[in-house]
């Protein structure tokens, strides 16, 4: 991912980089490619926002890989918040039983656990405090 630049500061950019990743970019990627791209960004201190989120299996795998990479001096883990997808697809009983409701979330925000704190979350809003460490 391209890094933000601030030509006025020789030590690098001020602020926090936010990577907004389209669903189109994620579509052709395998699960581990997605996870690696997300964690590489978070390791660099970036906030990663996924337009279409991850499947429940991908999100579980992301958490597993994150737990394996936690190091007290280098990586504190991730904070992850997801909007649920609206129930307009197939919320019928038959649709849920047949598993056609296994869709990705519509938006996911992921960042370093020591830099992002969720202040409020409901079905229409994620409010987070982001600090620069």
- Burial code (b: 16+ CB inside 10 Å, e: under 16) for 70-98 equals eeeeebeebbbbbbeeeeeeeeeeeeeee
Of residues 39 and 82, the one with the higher pLDDT is: 39
pLDDT digits 0-9 by tens, 13-48:
678 899 999 999 999 899 999 999 999 999 999 999
Rounded average pLDDT over 93-102: 51
Q: Give dist(CA 95, CA 91) in Å, integer.
A: 6
Q: Give this prediction's pTM.
A: 0.73
């Amino acid at each position: 991912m391209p890094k933000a630049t601030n030509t006025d500061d020789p030590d690098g950019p001020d602020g926090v980089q936010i990577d907004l990743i389209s669903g189109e970019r994620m579509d052709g990627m395998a699960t581990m490619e997605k996870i690696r791209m997300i964690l590489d960004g978070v390791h660099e201190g970036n906030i990663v926002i996924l337009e279409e989120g991850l499947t429940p299996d991908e999100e579980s795998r992301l958490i597993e890989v994150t737990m394996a990479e936690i190091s007290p001096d280098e990586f504190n883990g991730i904070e992850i918040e997801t909007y649920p997808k609206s129930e307009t697809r197939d919320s019928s009983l038959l649709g849920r039983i047949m598993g056609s409701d296994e869709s990705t979330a519509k938006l996911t925000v992921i960042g370093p656990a020591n830099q992002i704190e969720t202040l409020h979350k409901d079905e229409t809003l994620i409010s987070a405090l982001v600090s620069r460490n």
